[in-house]
Amino acid sequence: MAWNTNLRWRLPLTCLLLEAAMVVLFGVFVRYDYEADPHWPEEKRHKNIISDSENDFYYRYPSFQDVHVMIFVGFGFLMTFLQRYGFSALGFTFLLAAFGIQWALLMQGWFHSFKDGYIRIGVESLINADFCVGSVCVAFGALLGKVSPIQLLIMTLFQVTLFTVNEFILLNLLLVKDAGGSMTIHTFGAYFGLTVAWILYRPNLQQSKERQSSVYYSDLFAMIGTLFLWLYWPSFNSAVSNHGDAQHRAVINTYCSLAACVLTSVALSSALQKKGKLDMVHIQNATLAGGVAVGTAAEMMLMPYGSIIVGSISGIISTLGFTYLTPFLETHLKIQDTCGIHNLHGIPGLIGGIVGAVTAASATSEVYGHEGLVHAFDLEGGKYNRTTQLQGSFQAAGIFVSLAMALVGGGIVGIILKLPCWGQPPDENCFEDEIYWEIPKKQENAIYHPEDPPSSP
């Protein structure tokens, strides 16, 4: 294939057109919500709010910043594990996420906070925009090294749109709870990305295989991503939960689940290698599955031991997935999943949805208190007569809706991305920064490596 990978006019035009559209759409639609508007002092008086500390900003800003770090540093550095793809991993994540959060502010605004012709944004909008982009970053993980930045921008445009529709169906029509996004972010993102990867299947990818692996330092860089994802995941799962006990509980559950997940991931990683050696791929990825798998139920009464069980199981399944399922998918289903997102987001996302459904279905007013139960599941207004069993069923339905949206949406977007005009790399130049980046050519003249011997065992 002799695709033209010179993006000189295509990439700038795509970026500038998208940004110009943002200016117009933001100009027409986007305004500050009342907590970020200078009328806030009057509003406070009006609503009998006695302190600025009641501004939602102070409840959510620390969590927002953590989530923000997860998207750009977490996902970005996690994908630097490839030996020659660090610039692209960081740079393309940066690009798609920067565009994605703007587009998500609009899309989610139209669906969730559109009033009197305007979208009203505040700190929770920023968190939700980052969440939405998180889903795109998940999908990017399957495609890493095989797509151009233009393809990523187009995918972001469509995926954010579909994400928002799916989220609207789940949260506003089915009225499910999914604070940490096991279904809306991870399941949707993973199966969307896998479907796109399936359509973009490259039969001759083995021509780039020697670059589809890590080197020592690239693995260390990837650990920056892993650790910031792991550490801030409690913020991720609690960022948009109700003030007070729900946010508090979501943090505790996520903390417990992730801790347990590390031990089982390490256990399986060692058990699956004949010399008992640990594999960095598992440490970098499977240790995070526990955060995904408690996403939906984190704010519910999952209980600390429940979280530990969920985390333990996720770590085991995820590590097994990296060892057995990823090669199977590639060989038999023709899905080339670069980062193994099926093991980190796909299956754990499904687990998360199921755990959420079961936890919701088994909720009782003994455990939650009557007021607590109504509060936790919003059993008011349209949901006044919904039992927790019914809530559980709706939660389960949410999994299937997310899957369906991901498969259909991913199929359509995959076909669009298959067009040969987007500057994608040829099979022999995948996983290679040099296609899209000016690479520094000169190494320091060995002063720091005087004993790096030319011939060695």
Are the C-beta atoms of 289 and 318 separated by less than 8 Å? yes
Q: Write the CB contacts of 219 (distance below 8 Å, at least 6 apart in sequence).
A: 81, 280, 284
| The residue type at 424 | Q
Minimum distance, C-beta of residue 223 to its own copies, in the bound complex (Å)? 5
| The residue type at 210 | E
Minimum distance, C-beta of residue 110 to its own copies, in the bound complex (Å)? 14
State both tokens at 205.
């990818």
Minimum distance, C-beta of residue 217 to its own copies, in the bound complex (Å)? 6
H helix or E strand, kind and range, residue 32? strand 30-32
Q: 310 or 403, CB closer to its own copies?
A: 310
Q: 246 or 297, CB closer to its own copies?
A: 246
Minimum distance, C-beta of residue 6 to its own copies, in the bound complex (Å)? 5
Strand positions, DSSP E, 108-155: 114-115, 118-121
- What letter would DSSP give residue 5? -
Helix H segments across 30-84?
40-46, 56-69, 76-78
State both tokens at 240.
């948009």
CA dihedral 3→142→412→422, nearest 10 degrees, is: -20
Q: 388 or 402, CB closer to its own copies?
A: 388
Could you write out the DSSP letters of every residue in 344-355?
IIIHHHHHHHHH
Are the C-beta atoms of 282 and 168 separated by less than 8 Å? no
Q: 171 or 220, CB closer to its own copies?
A: 220
Comparing CA positions, the residue from 75, 109, 112 lying closest to residue 90 is 75
SS3 335: coil
Minimum distance, C-beta of residue 405 to its own copies, in the bound complex (Å)? 25
| Tokens 């009197």 sit on residue | 116
Minimum distance, C-beta of residue 354 to its own copies, in the bound complex (Å)? 19
Minimum distance, C-beta of residue 290 to its own copies, in the bound complex (Å)? 10
Minimum distance, C-beta of residue 285 to its own copies, in the bound complex (Å)? 13
